[in-house]
């Protein structure tokens, strides 16, 4: 393969790449406000001679889909951008490819925690700072510039390459789901999330739930006349913790850093009681339950519901006043691509060829659009991109330019191999 031509092209593109990431970071793109940055992406893809589709998100068309999550933002009009670099049709390579990234970012949070304004795009000591720099505008830029590097090296893929810039990933994946419902397909997909250039072909799912526990109010001075919803919740919390341990006892997967927490169950909020001197009449707890790879959301939901029901059956009050479990907001499936899939072998080979070291393979416990590709488009997919996910969603989020260049190089070699590049 034309490795050297590609390496030179990647290095020559560095100043332009830095400017482009800065432009993206300086164009704020909170959920429902992705339009301006999407126009920047579309303009860039057009200058590269790609065919660009502007694909509006339409909740009405998605609502009945099993993987749809209503993020509560505008149900129409938010644009996804799909650029297509048409393949030459030469009899080379393995197939077509989707490079996918999201432009929506989470809110900057407490501004006093930021050293510079969150949309600064400041370049300092080889890092670009700002909300979205790491998650995941740099990754998206890396995908675009990998294609630019191939063009600069005088190469054209034999099979189509689709560059998808989507909205709404952080709040449920409406953008990528739109592209799937609209029929965009390829033989493989790379989701350019910040994985620190590790290959992540497996992700746990996550389900948000609410637990409603009833008690009986009484004056605290006569508390034996009442039933505390808080004390009853403590029983249920113990049951949830037992369930988490039991579910992980039979689970082994070497891709997880912490296999005991591959699908954690966490209570995030608890609200109870009306007044300090009244026995608490009601408690509402909200939490997040992980879904194992290979497990369906329905199976996970049933496991929690059974655990709560069994705990309730063992208590005189709860037996006749059963706690209610509701599932709301994010209901994210798990997703996985088999670790011996040719996609992963080819990406590992490109990583090794570009960087001279083998790539690590990991599973992640957070939700991502990978699941939509593997489960609903039946496209093998992997998360792979520059950036440290522990910096994502945090103050002073940043990305190392050197790591982005590494990603550009690996991705360019991968596209050349997978899609079968030939000289133009």
Segment interacting with Zn ion (CB under 5 A) among 87-95, 189-197, 266-274, 401-409? 189-197
Mask 54-93, x = binds Zn ion (CB under 5 A)? ----------------------------------------
The Cα–Cα gap between 6 and 205 comes to 37
What length is written for the chain?
424
Which lies closer to Zn ion via its Cβ, residue 318 or residue 404?
Answer: 404
Segment interacting with Zn ion (CB under 5 A) among 185-193, 249-257, 259-267, 295-303? 185-193
Which lies closer to Zn ion via its Cβ, residue 97 or residue 140?
Answer: 140
Mask 193-212, x = binds Zn ion (CB under 5 A)? x-------------------
Segment interacting with Zn ion (CB under 5 A) among 42-50, 91-99, 188-196, 340-348? 188-196
Which lies closer to Zn ion via its Cβ, residue 372 or residue 421?
Answer: 372
- Residue 136 CB, nearest approach to Zn ion (Å): 4
- Residue 175 CB, nearest approach to Zn ion (Å): 12
The rounded Cα 320 to chain-centroid distance in angstroms is 41
Query: 386: left (phi > 0), else alpha (psi -120 to 50), else beta?
Result: beta
DSSP lists the bridge partners of residue 52 as 83
Segment interacting with Zn ion (CB under 5 A) among 121-129, 192-200, 326-334, 375-383? 192-200
What are the DSSP E strand ranges found in 4-89? Answer: 51-58, 76-85
| Burial bucket for residue 396 (CB in 10 Å: 0-12, 13-18, 19+) | middle
135 binds Zn ion (CB under 5 A): yes
Q: Is 388 a catalytic residue?
A: no
The rounded Cα 419 to chain-centroid distance in angstroms is 25
The residue assigned the tokens 């009986």 is 216
Element at 269 (helix H, strand E): strand 265-272
Element at 14 (helix H, strand E): helix 14-25
Which lies closer to Zn ion via its Cβ, residue 349 or residue 389?
Answer: 389
> Which of 34, 53, 104, 295 is the catalytic position?
104
Contact between residue 49 and residue 70 where contact means Cβ atoms under 8 Å apart: no
- Nearest partner of 342 among 136, 41, 97, judged by Cα: 97
Contact between residue 294 and residue 171 where contact means Cβ atoms under 8 Å apart: no
- Residue 421 CB, nearest approach to Zn ion (Å): 28
The residue assigned the tokens 């793109």 is 29
Q: What three-state secondary structure class fits 194?
A: coil
Segment interacting with Zn ion (CB under 5 A) among 86-94, 191-199, 285-293, 349-357? 191-199
> Which of 169, 244, 295, 403 is the catalytic position?
169
Q: Is 33 a catalytic residue?
A: no
Which lies closer to Zn ion via its Cβ, residue 213 or residue 389?
Answer: 389
- Residue 156 CB, nearest approach to Zn ion (Å): 30
The Cα–Cα gap between 70 and 168 comes to 10
Return phi, psi of residue 266, to 5°: -130, 135
Residue least distant from Zn ion (Cβ): 135
Q: What three-state secondary structure class fits 60?
A: helix
Mask 241-280, x = binds Zn ion (CB under 5 A)? ----------------------------------------
Cβ burial 127-149 (10 Å sphere, 16+ → b, else e) = bbbbbbbbbbbbbbbbbbbbbbb
Contact between residue 193 and residue 170 where contact means Cβ atoms under 8 Å apart: no
- Residue 78 CB, nearest approach to Zn ion (Å): 16
The Cα–Cα gap between 218 and 216 comes to 7
- Residue 52 CB, nearest approach to Zn ion (Å): 22
The residue assigned the tokens 């009050």 is 317
Mask 302-341, x = binds Zn ion (CB under 5 A)? ----------------------------------------
Contact between residue 331 and residue 207 where contact means Cβ atoms under 8 Å apart: yes
Segment interacting with Zn ion (CB under 5 A) among 119-127, 133-141, 309-317, 374-382? 133-141
Which lies closer to Zn ion via its Cβ, residue 109 or residue 294?
Answer: 109
Q: How many residues bind Zn ion (CB under 5 A)?
A: 3
34 binds Zn ion (CB under 5 A): no
The Cα–Cα gap between 373 and 62 comes to 15
- Residue 193 CB, nearest approach to Zn ion (Å): 5
- Residue 39 CB, nearest approach to Zn ion (Å): 20
167 binds Zn ion (CB under 5 A): no
136 binds Zn ion (CB under 5 A): yes
**In 10 A of CB 380, how many CB atoms?**
19
Which lies closer to Zn ion via its Cβ, residue 135 or residue 244?
Answer: 135
Binding site for Zn ion (CB under 5 A): 135-136, 193
- Please identify every residue annotated as catalytic: 104, 169
């Amino acid at each position: 393969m034309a490795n050297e031509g590609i390496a030179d092209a990647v290095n020559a593109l560095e100043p332009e790449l830095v400017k482009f990431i800065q432009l993206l970071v300086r164009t704020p793109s909170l959920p429902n406000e992705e339009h301006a940055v999407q126009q920047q992406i579309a303009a860039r893809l057009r200058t590269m001679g790609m065919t660009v589709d502007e694909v509006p998100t339409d909740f009405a068309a998605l609502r009945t889909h099993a993987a749809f999550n209503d993020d509560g933002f505008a149900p129409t009009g938010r644009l996804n951008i799909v650029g297509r670099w048409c393949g030459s049709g030469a009899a080379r390579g393995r197939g077509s490819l989707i490079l996918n990234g999201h432009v929506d970012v989470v809110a900057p949070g407490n501004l006093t925690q930021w050293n510079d304004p969150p949309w600064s795009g400041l370049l300092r000591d080889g890092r670009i700072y700002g909300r979205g720099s790491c998650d995941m505008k740099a990754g998206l830029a890396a995908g675009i510039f990998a294609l630019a590097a191939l063009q600069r090296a005088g190469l054209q893929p034999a099979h189509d390459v689709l560059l998808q810039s989507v909205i709404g990933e952080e709040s449920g994946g409406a953008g990528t789901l739109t592209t799937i419902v609209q029929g965009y397909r390829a033989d493989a997909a790379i989701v350019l999330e910040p994985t620190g250039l590790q290959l992540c072909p497996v992700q746990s799912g996550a389900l948000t739930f609410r637990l409603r526990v009833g008690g009986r109010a009484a004056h605290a001075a006569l508390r034996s006349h009442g039933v505390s919803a808080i004390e009853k919740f403590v029983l249920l919390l113990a049951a949830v913790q037992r369930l988490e341990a039991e579910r992980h006892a039979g689970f082994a997967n070497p891709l997880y850093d912490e296999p005991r927490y591959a699908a954690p169950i966490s209570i995030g909020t608890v609200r109870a009681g009306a007044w300090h001197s009244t026995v608490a009449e009601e408690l509402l707890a909200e939490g997040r339950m992980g879904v194992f790879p290979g497990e369906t959301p329905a199976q996970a939901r049933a496991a929690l519901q059974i655990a709560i029901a069994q705990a309730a059956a063992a208590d005189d009050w709860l037996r006749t006043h059963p706690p209610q479990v509701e599932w709301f907001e994010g209901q994210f499936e798990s997703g996985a691509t088999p670790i011996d899939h040719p996609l992963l072998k080819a990406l590992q080979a490109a990583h090794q060829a570009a960087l001279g070291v083998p790539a690590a393979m990991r599973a992640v416990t957070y939700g991502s659009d990978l699941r939509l590709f593997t489960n609903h488009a039946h496209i093998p997919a992997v998360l792979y991109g520059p950036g440290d996910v522990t910096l994502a969603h945090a103050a002073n989020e940043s990305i190392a330019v050197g790591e982005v260049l590494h990603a550009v190089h690996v991705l360019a070699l991968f596209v050349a191999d997978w899609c079968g590049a030939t000289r133009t």
